[in-house]
Amino acid sequence: MQGVDVDMDVNIFRGVILIILMIGFAGLWVWAWSGKRKSAFHEASMLPLEEDLGEIPNDEARMTGKDVHHVN
């Protein structure tokens, strides 16, 4: 049986890189949308709302303005 001589040109290399990047993107997408990460992402999304004491106001306080201290 004779072997097939395949020249590795730049287009094959580009195709392999493209497939690797597509698989990586799909893996990152699955990781980001998994249910296990929801609480960590929610906590990170609340960081800009933290008060100086490191407390995050609850939803009711944000909606009604109760217990919110403004610095004037």
Tell me the per-residue pLDDT of 41-55, one tens digit each, with 9 for 90 and over: 888 888 887 766 666
Q: Is 22 a member of any domain?
A: yes
The pLDDT tens digits of the residues spanning 5-46 come to: 566 788 889 999 999 999 999 999 999 888 888 888 888 888
Strand (E) or helix (H) holding 30:
helix 10-32
Is the pLDDT confidence value at 4 over 80? Answer: no
What's the structural domain count of the chain? 1
Q: What range does the domain containing 47 cover?
A: 10-64
Confidence of residue 72 (pLDDT cuts 50, 70, 90): very low
Q: Is 55 a member of any domain?
A: yes
Q: Is 57 a member of any domain?
A: yes
**What per-residue string of b and e applies to 3-15 under the rule 16 or more CB within 10 Å gives b?**
eeeeeeeeeeeee
What is the structure's pLDDT at 41?
85
Q: Is 56 a member of any domain?
A: yes
29 is written with which tokens?
Answer: 């997408």
* Top-confidence residue, 71 or 40: 40
Q: Is 39 a member of any domain?
A: yes
